[in-house]
A = this chain, B = another copy of it.
Amino acid sequence: MTAGKRETSMDKIFINGIVRTLDRAYPVCEAVGIKGGIILRLGRNEEVISCADERTEIIDLAGKLMLPGFVDTHMHLIDYYRTTRRIDLSTAESFEEMAGRIRERADQEPESEWVFGANFNQDNWENGVLPTRRDLDRVCGSHPVCVQRSCWHISVLNTRAMELTGLLKETRDTSLYMDFYDDGTPNGVIKENSQNKIYENFPVPEPEELKEWLKKAMADAAAKGITQVHSEDFQAFSRDRRELVMKAYMELAGEGQMPVRVYQQCLMPTKEQLERFLAQGHRTGETHGYYRLGPFKVVNDGSLGAHTAALRQPYACDPQTRGLPLYREDELKELFEIAHRNGCQIAVHCIGDASAEAVLDAYEYVMTKYPRTDCRHGILHCQIMDEELQDRFRQLNVIAYVQPVFLRYDMFIVDDCVGSELARQSYNWRRFCDLGVHQCGGSDCPVEKFDVLPNICHAVTRSDNHGAPAWYPENGVTVDEAVRMFTTEAAYASFEESVKGTVTVGKYADFTVIDRDIYEIPSEEIKDARVEMTVVGGNVVYRRT
C-alpha cells in the first residue's frame, strides 16, 4: 500500500449482502463501500473490495438483507423513555390483571411515590368498561395512581391522585376535558390535553438528566433498526419546555452523542409559542449535526378508541358524540398562515374525517393565498376519511403520515365507530400509493412499539398478524411500497431525499440490516424478521449479539 492508496480506500466495506438500494442505478447489489460516513461505492463484492486496503474494515453480511436505514416518521422519544419506567399494561387482559400489577408496584414504593401505568386498553378485556377513580381506589388507595390508555388520549386517576393534582375540586362547568359521576364529582377520567394538568406540577429533569433519557431512548430505537426518528417532544413535560428540549438535543448533537438522527416535530399548541419560536429565528430545516428542526405541529383531534377523533357524522356506536375537534378553522388558518409565511413545514394530527377536512381546507387557504414552492405540509395519522378527502391530498400535494401498526387494534373497532361504508375507505394506503401521494410510515411510539418490521407487515397483510382475517386486504400495499414508507418517503418528509432514503453513491451511509430477505418470504413472516445491524453515518450503532 502506498500513501496514495489510502486516500482512495474505503473506511468500511459491507460484502456478501442482498443490498436492496431502492435506487434504479443498482436495484440489488452485493457490496457497499463507505468513507467519511458517505456511500462511495456499490457493486459486486470484487468491485468494491478493490477499494480496500489493510485499514479497511470488511463486514460480512453473510447473505443478509441490507436496506436504506429505517426512519420512523412519527414518535415521541421523551415519552417513550418515560414509558419504559412505567408499568406496562399493554398486555393486561382484564381489569384484575392490571390491578395486580398496580398493587405489586405500589408495594415496592413509599406512599409519596406515584404509581404510573401505561397502555391499558379496556377493549381487550371481557367487560370492555373504562375504569374510573373509585375502581382504582379499590386497587390502591394509599399511593397516587394514574393509568393511561393505549391511545394516550385518556388517563384515569385514583382519588389520591385527583386530590394531589387539584382535579378533584373541578365541577361540571370546568373547561377541562374530564368526566363526572352522576353525583357531580369527577370520576377520574381525564382526556386529551387536559391530561397536562396531571403532570404539570412534577419536576422537570435537568438538562444533563434529560440528555441521559434521550440517549437511552435513541439507543433503543437504534436497536430496532431505526436510523432517524421524527420525534415530537416539546410538550413532553405538559407545558412548553421547548428550550430545555432543544438544548438537550443540541448539546448531544454537538458532543457526537446521538446514535440516530432526529427530525423534531415542533408541537406548539398556541400562537404565542409559535411566534416566540419564530422570533428566535427558528425555522424548519435548522440543522445541528444529527438534530434538525422539522415541521410546526399541532394536534387537531383525539383518538378513535376514546371517541375523541373528530368525525363529520356521529360515532355509529356512540351517536351522542362526533368527537373533539381541538381548533376552530379560523384558528387553524391563523396558525398555518404564520408558520407557512415564515417558510415552515406544517404537520397536523388528524384521525377523524372532520379534523382532516378542516386541516385540508386551511392548507388550501394558506397555500393559495401565499403561494410557496415545495411546502411539504402533511397530516399525521390520516385514519378516517373517504376517497374524496384522499383525493385532496393529491390535489394539494400534502404528505400522508400513516401508522400501519395501528391497524392491529383499530381493525376491530373502526367498522363499529364509523360504519363499514366509511371504514372500507379509511386506512386506505393502497389508494394513497395509486394516487401518487407521498405517504410515509411511523409508529407513534410509545403509543405503539417502534419496531419497523411488524409495522411493514401490517401495511402489507392488513391483519393483526395473530390469525385474525385481514381487514379490507385490498387496501394493503406491496412490500416494496411499505419499505419505501419507512425509507424513501420518510426522507422526502424531511426534505432529505437527496442525501437519504436510498442506497446511492453520495448519500449518507445509513443502513438497516435484516436477517432475511423480506421481499422473498411470505408477507405474514415479515413481522418475525430480526434486525441484525443498524448503521448511521457509517457508524455501526447496533449489532445483534
Contacts and interface: CB of A to CB of B under 8 A. Distances in A.
A499 interface: yes
Contacts of A171: none
Given A24-B436, A25-B435, A368-B7, A507 B374 contact: yes
Most buried by B among A35, A437, A508: A35
Interface string A367-380: 11111111110000
A7 B369 contact: yes
A229 B96 CA distance: 73
Contacts of A367: 40
Number of copies: 2
A506 B397 contact: yes
A51 interface: yes
A509 to B, nearest CB: 9
Given A397-B25, A436-B23, A506 B375 contact: yes
Contact of A499 (B9, B373, B497, B508): B373
Interface in A476-504: 495, 497-499, 504
A364 to B, nearest CB: 6
Contacts of A130: none
A395 B507 contact: no
A530 interface: no
Interface in A15-49: 23-26, 35-38, 40-43, 47
Contacts of A38: 371-373
Contact of A40 (B23, B43, B371, B437): B371
A507 B539 CA distance: 36
A505 interface: yes
Interface string A499-522: 100001111100000000000000
B26 A394 contact: yes
Most buried by B among A26, A51, A367: A367
Given A375-B506, A395-B505, 16 more contacts: A9-B368, A25-B435, A26-B394, A35-B371, A36-B370, A37-B371, A40-B368, A373-B499, A373-B508, A374-B507, A376-B506, A396-B505, A397-B504, A397-B506, A495-B498, A497-B498
